[in-house]
Amino acid sequence: MDGSGRTREVDIEETAKRAERLTRLSLFLVAGYLFATTVPIIRWSVVNASRGALVVHLLALGVAAACVFLTLPEKIRPARAWLPLALIPLLYVELRWVVGGIGMSRKDHAIAALDVTLFHSRISSSWAQHFQVAAVSELLHLAYLSYYPIVFVPPILLWFKDRRREFAFTVLSLVIAYVICYVGSIAVPVDGPRFVNGPAAAPRGFVRALAIMILQNFSSHGSAFPSSHVAAAVVASYCAIRFQRKLGIAAAFMTVLLGIGAVYAGFHYATDIIAGAMVGASTIFIASRIERPPRPAKPPKPPPPVKVQVMQARMAQHSARRSRETKREEED
């Protein structure tokens, strides 16, 4: 095998190691979050006399922990790589039980007041009233629903292109964003204007009805702040721009419309969107720092050649001799 072939094998092995490191870290974050939220889930299950949520939670925790700490067969490695992203919907659904188990009061009034302070109006309800254009309404509701392809299409494409390190980095970045958002939702539970006042008075349409139907069946109370939709979309767009530029540009454009649509439709306060964007930006910085390999230690400088050493020794002797002669002259 020639030198280029060996170099290529080393590069492939190093890429696989980095992908494995990122995947393990993603699983560790998910497992740690599941472990930290076990007590609130237990409390909610006891209060509501429901064991199903606790059973599912413990099963997910066990699987995630096993993937972190056990050596698994090669056949299930692909499933292991996808597991952190696959568990995100469960973590989102569980927010309603975690928030309920902790029992903190909702902070909608504070977030709504912050909207008024920043924008001098409740724009989560006023935008739709002022812009009664059916085509605009349908476009913005469609942009809100584009969250799903923005987040899931880029990693799927990376996987089928066999770009495992880029895939693992994208998954890790998304997991960090989701965990930060979900911890924020637990600390500051906010239902969102849709739960408080109902959807905004936007023009009726098929896409609007579809978006409302999906939220009515799958959204979790207390999960509006910060907006995990926006945070994840920002992170997914950044990763896509890095690894799949054309797709990333399209994702970034739809992410901007997603944030506008979430406020226009009355699904989020504007403050939720700003906070979600800030989480996304912070996640990009954190994930990039994690991905960066440690700088190799600088090799020690080689000793100078023998001739140089001899010259340096002679110069040192000459300097010492001159110093002694100068000292004698001063004494005389």
Instruction: Report the predicted TM-score, pTM, of the whole model to 2 decimal places.
Output: 0.85
95, pLDDT greater than 80: yes
Average pLDDT over residues 236-244: 97
In a domain, 322, yes or no: no
Domain that holds residue 139: 3-293
pLDDT of residue 300: 62
Average pLDDT over residues 205-231: 93
Average pLDDT over residues 304-332: 65
pLDDT of residue 299: 60
User: Which distant-in-sequence residues (6+ apart) come within 8 Å of 180 by Cβ?
Assistant: 226, 231, 279, 282, 283
Average pLDDT over residues 130-143: 94
In a domain, 317, yes or no: no
Q: Which long-range contacts (CB under 8 A, 24 or more apart) does 152-157 make?
A: 152/85, 153/247, 154/236, 154/239, 154/240, 154/243, 154/244, 154/247, 154/248, 154/251, 155/85, 157/244, 157/247
In a domain, 215, yes or no: yes
204, pLDDT greater than 70: yes
In a domain, 9, yes or no: yes
Tell me the percentage of the chain whose pLDDT exceeds 70. 86
Number of domains in the chain: 1
In a domain, 321, yes or no: no
Return the SS3 of 100: helix
6, pLDDT greater than 60: no
In a domain, 314, yes or no: no
In a domain, 325, yes or no: no
Determine the length of the chain: 332
pLDDT of residue 155: 97
- Residues 87, 90, 91, 96, Cα dihedral to 10°: 180
8, pLDDT greater than 80: no
Contact 185, 39 (CB under 8 A): no
